[in-house]
């Protein structure tokens, strides 16, 4: 599985540590926390989760873009190879037309024998 870039990884780790520190601080504090304190903590937690989600989404979209570029390079390379093979075959047929005709007839004969069985 792909690893996160160090910058994204450190952002996520820092946010997770921050959340853990807040939870620990609240558990150590007196249980007399007010409703406003809890509401503020929940809001902060929502913001942190939204930031983490955005970081993960941007990482995923960059990996998808990178995979698309790589696959396009493979397609372009395959097209170039096929074009080169086609040009070489055409040059061979023009240089030795009778030999090419004999090879094509032989291949046709073998394929006919195989399809009859």
pLDDT of 11 above 80? no
Q: Where are the domains of the chain?
A: 6-116
pTM of this structure: 0.44
pLDDT tens sequence across 65-117: 888 899 999 999 999 999 999 999 999 999 999 999 999 999 999 999 999 87
Half-sphere exposure of 109 (CA within 13 A, CB side): 6
The dihedral sign for the CA sequence 24, 30, 34, 37 = negative
Q: In this predicted model, which residue has the larger pLDDT, 114 or 37? A: 114
pLDDT given at position 33: 60
pLDDT tens sequence across 39-79: 888 888 888 888 888 888 888 788 888 888 999 999 999 99
Q: Match 């853990």 to its residue by tokens.
A: 20
């Amino acid at each position: 599985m792909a690893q996160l870039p160090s910058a994204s990884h450190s952002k996520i780790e820092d946010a997770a540590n921050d959340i853990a520190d807040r939870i620990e601080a609240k558990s150590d504090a007196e249980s007399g926390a007010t409703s406003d304190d809890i509401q503020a903590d929940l809001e902060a937690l929502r913001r942190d989760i939204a930031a983490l989600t955005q970081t993960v989404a941007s990482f995923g979209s960059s990996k998808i873009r990178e995979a698309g570029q790589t696959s396009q390079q493979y397609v372009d390379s395959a097209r170039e190879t096929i074009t080169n093979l086609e040009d070489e075959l055409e040059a061979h047929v023009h240089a030795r037309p009778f030999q090419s005709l004999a090879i094509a007839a032989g291949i046709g004969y073998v394929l006919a024998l195989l399809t009859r069985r």
